[in-house]
Structure 1
Amino acid sequence: MSSALDLRPARTPTSTPVATTRAHGHRGRDSYDNIELLLAELADLAPSDRRRNHVRNTVIRRCLPLADNIARRFTGRGESIDDLRQFARLGLVHAVDRFDHTHGAPFLAFAIPTIMGEVRRHFRDHTWAVRVPRRVKEIHQQLGPTTEALTHRFGRPPKAREIAEELGIDTTEVTQAMIAHNAYRTAPIEPITDDENPGVPESLLAVLGADEAEYGVVEDYLAVRPLIAAPPEQDRRALVLRFFEFRTQRQIAAQLGVSQMQVSRILSRTLDSLREQALHD
């Protein structure tokens, strides 16, 4: 691609020759009439010919409105119009460079799918927040146009089964593509704030809740639980009575048939052992 050609979106698209022709009422004729003649001339020019870049850039500039129009068809999907135009225009350059006028087909029949393919490739490969299988991405790209066509045909939104029949695929694949839409864009936990834009959504952190202090108790319980099964039956029973049934040492001693002093020693010894094992693990 020649560095002399600027593909950045023009500020005033109506200044292009095509738009000017339309403004003057170019009725009954295609705005891209005779573009094939320029492409044939381009093909006949040697790479070293100084006129080649001029002819090539002329073809591209005449077709910029086509690329911009295709770019607008993909708005509303999370990408800026400037980015969409850039990729559409890149597709236009590919179309100009790859077109073979000897086949006899009109340039637009080749350029339109080439440009749309470049934009769709951008969506498929670079705009997914979470990795999604390529097959699912491809089906996802067809959901919008297919749903729009079926809605117009039925007068109501189509069902997944009807979309699957239209696309000639399994209903499960349509469902997966619909679910995958949630992976297309993720909401940031901390949205970008702007003092001049009071409409910025509230931070997710503000609605996710606070840290739960009792989670630490749960973690301690899960760490100690397997260790409690290891001590002898009498020691384990003393722990259960003291810390789960909240009995006093006197009550535990009466139930186990030992002295209160022995209960104190059992609890102290067992707790020290559990603490040492838990901290070690």
Structure 2
Amino acid sequence: MRTHAQATAKHPHDDAPDTAAAFARLAALPAGPERHALRQDLVRAWLPMAQRLAGRFRNRGESLEDLRQVAALGLVKAVDRYDPARGAAFESFAVPTITGELKRHFRDHMWTLHVPRRVQDLRGRVRAARQELMQTNGGHHPSVADLAARTGLSEDEAKAGLEALDSFSALSLDAELPGAEDGYSLADSLGSPDPALDVVVDREAVRPGLRGLPARERQILYMRFFRDMTQSRIAEDLGISQMHVSRLITRCCTRLRDQALREQAPAPHRPARPHAA
């Protein structure tokens, strides 16, 4: 028999109403307006608890109003799935359901980068451990070894969780780097395609053809394209006319280009020869 103190004792949370009888009635009612109205009353009665749970996830990059909407959705699912015949209190069933809905929201909709589920879990454990350790050591950031000891993870796992802390959101490429001067941004630190790569490809393509040229023509091409000499200077050094140098350069370039194109062209398809009967 319950004592007077037990009967008048308050629930740990003021937002946990006594709705056991209402849930038993809901389970017995058939689908219809009466059951729908009772379901709505139960959702409204437990809505303050859902909003309290949503408040635990504030300051994580999502507005409190959106978090409350997600928590309300989790509450509706809890009301629809709760079975009073199992004997458990509704709150013990609803709290994990609502909290799981909030965590799924962060997991599926709030990450800018795609991070595996396991790494997301590591992030949560490392984040909680870091906050606890910073409260006990005067605000200093704990080391990877400290986080691993606190969470029971390996140092590699703790390091992966720390790296994931910065993967929840992404900076714009126009964002100025910390400590940078003159507006130096992330975009300024990115590389770009090297135009010399095409030159390397072209040189390798014409290398076989160059070996087949006469010595004087190879010398003229070297002087023109590698030593950047003018045609007049080449003609003067070789004792020939500038017009002759120009004709040789044009003829050699045309020959090398045609040969490179022939070698790069795909081989013609030859149909298979039929086997003799």
TM-score (norm 1): 0.68
List per-residue Cα deviations over 1:11-66 (Å, max 9, x = no partner): xxxxxxxxxxxxxxx994442242333323322x2233643222222221111111
Residue matched to 2:221: 239
Contact in 2 for aligned 1:127/1:184 (Cα 8 Å): yes
Residue matched to 1:185: 169
Residue matched to 2:179: none
User: Which blocks of at least 5 consecutive residues in structure 2 are unaligned?
Assistant: 1-7, 176-182, 265-277
Residue matched to 1:269: 251
Q: How does 1:109-148 map to 2 (within 5 A)?
A: 109-148=92-131
Q: How does 1:16-165 map to 2 (within 5 A)?
A: 28-29=10-11, 30-31=13-14, 32-43=16-27, 45-48=28-31, 50-155=33-138, 156-165=140-149
Contact in 2 for aligned 1:231/1:270 (Cα 8 Å): no
Contact in 2 for aligned 1:223/1:278 (Cα 8 Å): no
Provide the aligned C-alpha RMSD in A: 3.8
Contact in 2 for aligned 1:42/1:56 (Cα 8 Å): yes
CA–CA separation in structure 2 for the residues paired with 1:90 and 1:41: 22
1:175 pairs with one of 154, 159, 162: 159
Contact in 1 for aligned 2:173/2:185 (Cα 8 Å): no
**One-letter identity of the residue aligned with 1:174:** A
Residue matched to 1:11: none
CA–CA separation in structure 2 for the residues paired with 1:103 and 1:96: 14
TM-score (norm 2): 0.68
User: Which blocks of at least 5 consecutive residues in structure 1 are unaligned?
Assistant: 1-25, 192-203
CA–CA separation in structure 2 for the residues paired with 1:95 and 1:215: 55
Question: Offset at 1:119?
Answer: 0.8
Question: Offset at 1:223?
Answer: 4.1
CA–CA separation in structure 1 for the residues paired with 2:61 and 2:79: 28
Residue matched to 1:166: 150
Contact in 1 for aligned 2:54/2:102 (Cα 8 Å): yes
CA–CA separation in structure 2 for the residues paired with 1:216 and 1:107: 64
**Rg (Cα) greater in structure:** 2
Residue matched to 2:4: none
* 135-144 or 86-95, larger mean C-alpha shift: 135-144
1:71 and 1:247, CA in 2 relative to 1: closer, same or farther beyond 3 A?
A: same
The size of the alignment, in residue pairs, is 239
1:172 and 1:230, CA in 2 relative to 1: closer, same or farther beyond 3 A?
A: same
